[in-house]
Structure 1
Amino acid sequence: MDVLWDLAPEADVTVREVHQEISASRDVAYTTVMTVMDRLSRKGMVEQHKEGRAYRYRARSSRAEMTADLMRGTLADLGSGEREPALVAFVEDASAEEIAALRKALAALD
């Protein structure tokens, strides 16, 4: 997912492009990348469409949107008595900039 977000956040990329990017830092087979891209498509994490003989892929959501979805899912899995302590523990570790962003977001909700 990181490669999709970094290569072309608003455009489609091929398996070959993703493979080239990953291969710059580690040895990975083209077929492995192809399999992972297909699995991400089946899980709904990326959009897949055929162009000629190749498939092109695009992330369905931004990195921030996916992170927020994961956080919401995690909170939903907790019991109601565990959500507040989890949120408090998260905020306790936040930087001053992150706390300012949270305050701004909360103010916008009012």
Structure 2
Amino acid sequence: MRMQRDEGARRAPGALEAEVLAILWEAEGPLAPADVQERLEGDLAYTTVVTILSRLHEKGVAAREKQGRSFRYHAVEDEPGLAARRMSKVLDNEPDRRSVLARFVSNLSKSDERELRKLLGKSGTGD
């Protein structure tokens, strides 16, 4: 399945990485860069695809395995896992974690707050 994009439109920053990651999520198994290139919309150079895959690997969101003289790539986490990782990274960079968490919880919808309370109740941790 090829990703669709308007003719002549430039991708927003990070959009190409997101497209490549979506292709990895949809794949049944690890993909070679040429497989990813084939599934992307547009005429991207093979080296561009390899660069994007290498960046995803460096960020820890894609894993690679050696096959012959090249690598095959697969996503490390699904979309919810990646979102959770991003949230943790943001929290890790804040000096006042308690205030950030309090503000986050106060901005949740009632249904999200109920869901979070259920999840916290199941975790059994009360430190």
- Same fold by TM-score, threshold 0.5 exceeded? yes
Q: How far apart are 1:108 and its partner, in Å?
A: 0.3
Q: Deviations over 1:24-65 (max 9, x none)?
A: xx5533321111112322343321123245421011222222
1:68 correspondence with 2:84: yes
TM-score by length of 2: 0.63
Aligned position for 1:50: 66
2:10 maps to none
By relative contact order (CA 8 Å, sep 6+), the higher-ranking structure is 1
Between the aligned partners of 1:104 and 1:29, the Cα distance in structure 2 is 48
CA–CA separation in structure 1 for the residues paired with 2:87 and 2:52: 23
Task: Return the letter of the residue paired with 2:31.
Answer: V
What's 1:4 paired with?
Answer: 24
Aligned to 1:15: 33
CA distance in 1, matches of 2:114, 2:40: 35
CA RMSD between the two structures? 2.5
Q: 1 CA distance for matches of 2:71 and 2:47?
A: 13
CA separation of 1:84 and 1:14: change in aligned 2, threshold 3 A: same
C-alpha distance in structure 2 between counterparts of 1:19 and 1:101, whole Å: 40
Runs (4+) off by over 6 Å:
none
Aligned to 1:101: 115
Q: What is the identity, as a one-letter code, of the residue corresponding to 1:74?
A: V
Q: 1:60 to 1:109 in 2, by over 3 A?
A: same
Task: Determine the C-alpha separation between the residues in 2 that align with 1:35 and 1:28.
Answer: 11
TM-score under structure 1 length normalisation: 0.71
Ranges in structure 1 where 5+ consecutive residues have no aligned partner: none
Give me the whole-angstrom Cα distance separating, in 2, the residues matched to 1:65 and 1:47.
Answer: 15
Seen in structure 2, the aligned counterparts of structure 1 residues 27 and 92 have a Cα distance that, compared at 3 Å, is farther
Q: Which runs of 5+ in 2 are unaligned?
A: 1-20
